[in-house]
Each structure stands twice: as structure tokens, then as C-alpha cells.
Amino acid sequence: MNATGFWSLINQAHRDTENEDELIVWLSRVLSTAPTSEAQEFLQYFIIYYDGAYTTDCLYTALIQITHRLVITDEEFSAFCVWLVAQGESAYATTLTTPINVYLHEGKSWQYPHLFQALHDVLTRCT
């Protein structure tokens, strides 16, 4: 799997599901039936893009502004980064290049840190 394949899978998950919970189930089902190497490569790309979001300081600042708080916990910021990757390549790239676009996502639920854990659990069962 390459970066294009990773984003294609995320995009397909969005086309085939209606919410984040269904997206997790869909990805879990697809990855659990994929060859182990492909599932592992998916997780590697997920981590690469997650790390890219997590190390973007201005993204953290934007989250503080939209939540009207002085501090965002590590868990909250981590959940947001997982959510951002799961939104697909376009939303991810746009938000990282112009963090003010995080305002466009205000009101959407990004509090689902269980996505990463669910993917990790599937991959653990595959190996």
C-alpha cells in the first residue's frame, strides 16, 4: 500500500458509511480481511499522517481558539488528530496548510480516540 492507497481506503470508507462509528467498523472489517502486510502498511501511513497533524503547533492553537479554553489536553488533541486523518486527504491537507480551516469543523464530533485503538486491535489480530 502506498499513500494513494491509504487515502483511497479512507475515502471509500466515507462513501460506504454514514458516521464515525460505522467508519470504524468498515475499516476494521476491511483491514481484518486484507493481507497482513497491507493492514500493517495502512497503520504505518495512519501513524505518519497522525504524527504530521500532532506536531503542527498552529493546529493546536486553532483548537484552543475554537473551544474557547486555555488548554487542550493531550488526549483531546490526540483525538482531534485521529479524527482529522479519518476525514480524508483533502480535509487533512487543507487543515495542515491553513489551520484556520479547523474552524470549518467546529460542531463536528472529533472526540473519538477509540478509532486508533480499534485499528490497532484489528492489526494485532491480523499478525
Measuring CA to CA, which residue among 118, 39, 122 is closest to residue 79? Answer: 118
Q: Identify which has the larger pLDDT, 118 or 9.
A: 9
Q: List, in order, residues 6 or more apart from 108 with CB less than 8 Å away.
A: none
pLDDT of residue 41: 94
CB 118 within 8 A of CB 124: no
pLDDT of residue 45: 94
CB 40 within 8 A of CB 127: yes
pLDDT of residue 113: 45
pLDDT of residue 58: 66
Tell me the whole-structure pTM to 2 decimals.
0.73
Q: What is the mean pLDDT of residues 77-99?
A: 80
Residue linked to cell 468498515: 26
Q: Indicate the DSSP class of residue 101.
A: G
CB 10 within 8 A of CB 89: yes
